[in-house]
Chains A and B, each alone.
Chain A
Amino acid sequence: MKTTHLDQKLAKVRLRLAKILLIVPMVVFGLWLLKLVYLPNVGSGKAGTLRSSTADGGIFVKILSDQQLVPRGHFHMVDEHVSAQETYQVLCLNCHGTYPHRKEKKTRAVLNFHGGIMDCTVCHVRKDPAHQERYLVWLNHQTGQTSTHVEGGFGKYPAKIALVKMGAESKPVLVQPVSEGEAKAFLKLKEQFTPDQMARAKIKLHEGLSQKPVFCTECHKKDGYLNFSDLGFAPNRVDNLTSNEIARMIENYETFYIPKEIDFTGQ
């Protein structure tokens, strides 16, 4: 008797399950069909709106939707060496991006390519005697590994020259213009600031920076600000970096006319 009762219960459960199994795919199919009819991606007769997707939000929506690292219309095939996101990076990049120099026509592009070789803090936070614990080293911004050897060349390095200090467990940590906590607090509160409060906050954010950043010829000279030998450059490359003609041109000339009359190529 008990077995029969159990069998009946099992049969009911099976029936219920079978019905649910029938209903669920049918409902899913129905929803898909409704979506197909009422919400097609595109469709004949669904002329819809002539308003572009950016009309409401304007240029800022367009900027947000633009995910291309290399803009359309850029002719030369390039890699995206600089734009790669890094795990260990200075906080400056969060607001200023990878092309932060914009004002000075003569130097902006040249300074920007240095952003692929070194952190902002190398030039914008000068080493000073009060901070003996700070030193320069190659830092792999993906792994956090430091090195005094140069790998790669001409801007294509797996690491960047970084200003670091010894942290806990004798592990070097990046010197930041502000602490990460302060930066996060700023980002959290910035919507609430009045214009004057924002101005004050920006001054505080940049307080750790040197008044005068390191200029080209301070490094690109013998016994300059950067010790290229200590950073692992080969002697011939050190010679090249310390007698760099571009840095001198930038220092000495507002405009340099490229000599055309001399045909060095013999063509």
Chain B
Amino acid sequence: MRMRDTRRSGSYAAFKIMLALLAAALAFPLTAFSAGGEIRTDTENCLICHRYPGMGRFDEAGVKRIYYINEMKFANSVHGKLKCTNCHVGLDKIPHTDIRKVDCTTQCHLKEPSTEREFSHTNMVEKYNHSVHGNSDPNNPKPFPEDLPTCTYCHDNSIRSPLEGVWGTSQALANETLSRCVGCHTKDHWAQNYYLHVTHRMRHLRSQAEIIKLCTSCHEDSEKMSRHGLDSIATFKDTFHWNLVKFKVKDAPDCISCHVPIGFTTHDIRPKYDQASSVNKRNRVNTCSNQGGIQSCHPGATDDFAGGRVHAYGTKAQLVVDGAQSIAVEADESLLSERARRDMSEREIMNFKILSYIRLFYKILIPMVIGFMVCHQTLDLLATLRKNRHNSH
């Protein structure tokens, strides 16, 4: 046991009393977790402080730090089996001033059943690092690394709940299934955990609108996107796909539908010019048809169909056609211009020009039609009023 000699007052006897009190607290933890029917204890007794909802502070950067843990939610979450120190490594003193940032590649002392090795998320993190969102190449580091999402930007410690099914409500389904499982798998708690794990993975955790909200929380920021040579995702909201989501059409396509179809993973989203990307030209037919998936969106998709533009034209097209002067550029647009010149083919530039002329045509036509209509109706109304007045005399 280490004890730094920075005590304000007291003596070694006080230390012994202190240790005895804390030892008692650790030996008889106050709060019990109930996960999947089994009562487990907060073996490290972190909840002695962290169960209070007001526990938190604003840090030096003005960020709200919430240190509160809702014990029941945690116990029923995907990480509910873990001890706090499995993730919060290096936590050995109070105040926790030396705590390390949580690293999802840490081995968390659970056995991964297919390999019998200690489990960690290393596999996913490695994929992520090589993805469009990662920053793995030291020779070619991405600009503005602070813009890139971290694990917790997209993930939270989601609550596990059983799958809704053909047998009725989720609880009834769980009861029916588990009654079959526990015949052979006699440890009820193990069977429940296994069932919840599997059914949790079978569910869509986020609705289409929630997925779009998550992705657009970064991709709609045009300034941030331009720093990375990307169009704002605002262009998606000018599409038929978006309108389906907006009007809550069942199975409407969200970002994941095209960027992570069957055979791809969210952690390994690649840029479209990468042949491993689901939206690369060579993979687009498969992506649009999504053969083998639960939902086959465009089963008869051809090369021509899949080669069409999905997102509407945005800043890049405008930069190529009209030049930087046309846009109120505050961010450094050089990367965006460079990418625009690379990404926009001659045909697309022509299409954009035609669309621009059509738009201009309607911009002139519509106010003229409406203007004439308003004038006509107003004059007609005035004429009627005048006629009425004349007749009444």
Contact = CB atoms under 8 A, between A and B. Distances in A.
Interface of A: 8, 12, 15-16, 19-20, 22-23, 26-27, 30, 33-34, 37-38, 40-45, 47-52, 55, 59, 63, 70-79, 81-82, 97-99, 101-102, 105-106, 108-110, 112-117, 154-156, 243, 245-246, 248-249, 251-262, 264-265, 267
Contacts of A81: 53-54
B228 to A, nearest CB: 12
A71 B217 CA distance: 13
B158 interface: yes
Nearest to B51: A154
A127 B56 CA distance: 27
A114 B57 CA distance: 12
B313 A45 contact: yes
A41 to B, nearest CB: 7
Contacts of B63: 71
Nearest to A153: B51
Contacts, number: 260
Interface of B: 1-4, 6-10, 14, 18-19, 21-27, 31, 41, 43, 48-49, 51-58, 62-64, 66-70, 73-74, 77, 91-95, 97, 102, 150, 152-153, 155-159, 217, 221-224, 226, 232, 234-235, 237-238, 312-315, 317-319, 326-331, 333, 336, 352, 355-356, 359, 362-363, 366-367, 370, 373-374, 377-378, 380-381, 384-385, 388, 391
A19 B363 contact: no
A50 B222 contact: yes
A77 B70 contact: yes
Chain B CB within 10 A, most for which of A30, A101, A245, A246: A245
A23 B377 contact: yes
Contacts of B157: 75-77
24 contacts: A19-B381, A23-B374, A30-B370, A33-B366, A34-B370, A40-B238, A44-B312, A47-B317, A50-B327, A70-B66, A77-B70, A77-B156, A77-B159, A105-B97, A112-B54, A116-B52, A245-B22, A248-B18, A252-B7, A252-B9, A255-B4, A256-B18, A256-B93, A267-B43
Given A76-B68, A253-B7, A254-B6, 7 more contacts: A23-B381, A34-B366, A41-B237, A106-B95, A113-B52, A117-B54, A249-B18
Nearest to A157: B53
B175 to A, nearest CB: 25
B52 A108 contact: no
